[in-house]
Amino acid sequence: MAPPHTWTATLTLALLTTSTTAQRQLNSTSFSTCISNSSLTADSFSATIYPDTDSFEYDWIGANSFVGNDTISVIITVASKVVYNDTLDPCLSNAWAYFCPASKGEVAIMTNTITPNGTFEDIPESVFTQPGLEASFEVQMTNSDTGAVVGCLRANLTNGVEGNGASDENAGSSNATTTEGTNGSGSSNESSTSGSGSGGGSGASTAYLNWTLLLKCKGLANDRPSSPSPSPSPSSLLHLRRARRHIAVFLAMIKTPLQMLGRRVTEDTSERSTRVQ
């Protein structure tokens, strides 16, 4: 019978191996629009792919300027190969319900999607171990009446291996052709949190929450320290980005209810003033 410490070492090695395998991820580092005059714009757009669990998540804080019927496509490209391409009907999606039909306004979406088993099994192992990865996560909006792509956002993906040359700073808008591919089966399952606001003006704006000020709070995490500091680890950066995204989504979600509350308070105040007179 093997000594106890041998069993302990074997068990520890097995746990470490399992943990390492389960942590394979592709994380976004920057984002941009991917067509000219995109109806979809972003203050924040990020995605994480989990090949071992056939799932991915993405968060978007931004705005839409398109009005009408539409479809939404999610396209994941790794090493010049489209590994996922799914088109969904916003009217059948909790995350994209605001786009049924699409209307102008601010948008906040945070969603986790479980794909069919084996969706990412064709991605070679070298993708997760070698630098210089070329991969992207795209969300496209298509005008259902004309078939034209009217909005597109792209997040660049990295495996975290040094030498990718990717920046953690958000890229500005750029013009590029959209990725082509066959629409998927739409069989993915999603769990999501979303919110939106019309952004319209009103005479009761004095009772509203200062939304611009709140959004500035979200951007404080982007400020760099004035003095040099050690570079954070990739895992620390990932946790920071996730925390910042969750805060931004929460702020976007409470905007509309607070606006409605502000209108109600203003209306009640006006009604009481009228009664007093």
For position 184, what pLDDT does the model report?
43
Q: Is residue 255 part of a domain?
A: no
Q: Is residue 118 part of a domain?
A: yes
Reported as a single tens digit per residue, the pLDDT across 117-147 is 999 999 999 999 989 899 999 999 999 999 9
Rounded Cα–Cα distance for residues 219 and 40 (Å): 20
Give mean pLDDT, residues 164-178.
Answer: 42
Q: Is residue 224 part of a domain?
A: no
pLDDT tops 70 at residue 31: yes
Reported as a single tens digit per residue, the pLDDT across 247-274 is 766 666 676 667 677 777 777 777 777 7
Of the listed ranges 58-72, 82-96, 102-116, 196-210, the least confidently predicted one is: 196-210
Q: Is residue 257 part of a domain?
A: no
Q: Is residue 84 part of a domain?
A: yes
**Structural domain range at position 65:** 24-200
Q: What angle do CA 269, 258, 275 make, to 5 degrees?
A: 10
Kindly report whether the peptide bond that precedes residue 51 is cis, defined as omega within 30 degrees of 0.
no
Give mean pLDDT, residues 46-62.
Answer: 95
Q: Is residue 109 part of a domain?
A: yes
Rounded Cα–Cα distance for residues 212 and 199 (Å): 11
Tell which wins on pLDDT, 155 or 268. 155
Q: What angle do CA 98, 120, 71 make, to 5 degrees?
A: 25
CATH number of the domain bearing residue 30: 2.60.40.770
Q: Is residue 146 part of a domain?
A: yes
Work out how many domains the chain is built from and give that number: 1
For position 196, what pLDDT does the model report?
53
Neighbours of 184 (CB within 10 A): 19
Tell which wins on pLDDT, 198 or 70. 70
DSSP-derived secondary structure for 193-252:
EEEEE-----TTGGGS--HHHHHHHHHGGGPPPSS--PPPPHHHHHHHHHHHHHHHHHHH
pLDDT tops 60 at residue 78: yes
Q: Is residue 189 part of a domain?
A: yes
pLDDT tops 70 at residue 245: no
